[in-house]
């Protein structure tokens, strides 16, 4: 496999109901991972971009969170419909989507 141009890490951390930190899965992380997979497939980008479901990225209160390398760019409060925008604007056009960037006090 060639080295990917971008690697997306989508938080799919689970925690028990009532856990004080909550979890990205409780905020749609699994659906978000699927939305990114579909967005990459639709554009035939699987060979250029890597996608991984991952454990906790840190700012649980802002989930669902997505971390993009290179650049360590984190997006928060990401919803499945946002996957298309991030893939197009960040991965293909090289412009991170500032509206969804994790606030600096969290990341
Ligand atoms: S559970 Fe997703 S960032 Fe912590």
Sorted by where each begins, the domain ranges of the chain are 1-9+39-55+71-101
Put simply, whether the predicted model's pTM sits higher than 0.95 gets the answer: yes
Return d(Cα 65, Cα 28) in angstroms, integer. 10
Please check whether residue 89 is in contact with residue 48, taking contact to mean a CB–CB distance below 8 angstroms.
no
How many angstroms separate the alpha carbon of residue 102 from the centre of ligand 1? 12
Q: Is 24 in the pocket of ligand 1 (CB under 6 A)?
A: yes
Over residues 68-95, the mean pLDDT reads 98
C-beta 33 within 6 A of ligand 1? no
- 76 C-beta closer than 6 A to ligand 1: no
Class of residue 41 by CB neighbours under 10 A (exposed 0-12, middle 13-18, buried 19+): exposed
pLDDT tens readout for residues 47-74: 999 999 999 999 999 999 999 999 999 9
C-alpha–C-alpha distance, residues 58 and 49, integer Å: 23
The model's pLDDT over 36-48, given as tens digits with 9 standing for 90+, comes to 999 999 999 999 9
Element spanning 38, H or E = helix 29-42
């Amino acid at each position: 496999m060639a080295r990917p141009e971008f690697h997306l890490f989508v938080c799919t951390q689970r925690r028990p109901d009532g856990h004080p930190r909550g979890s990205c899965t409780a905020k749609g992380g699994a659906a978000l991972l699927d939305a990114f997979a579909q967005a990459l497939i639709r554009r035939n980008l699987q060979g250029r971009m890597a996608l991984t479901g991952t454990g906790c990225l840190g700012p649980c209160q802002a989930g669902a969170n997505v971390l993009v390398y290179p650049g360590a760019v984190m997006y928060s409060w990401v919803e499945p419909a946002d996957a298309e925008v991030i893939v197009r604007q960040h991965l293909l056009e090289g412009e991170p989507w500032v509206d969804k960037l994790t606030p600096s006090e969290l990341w």
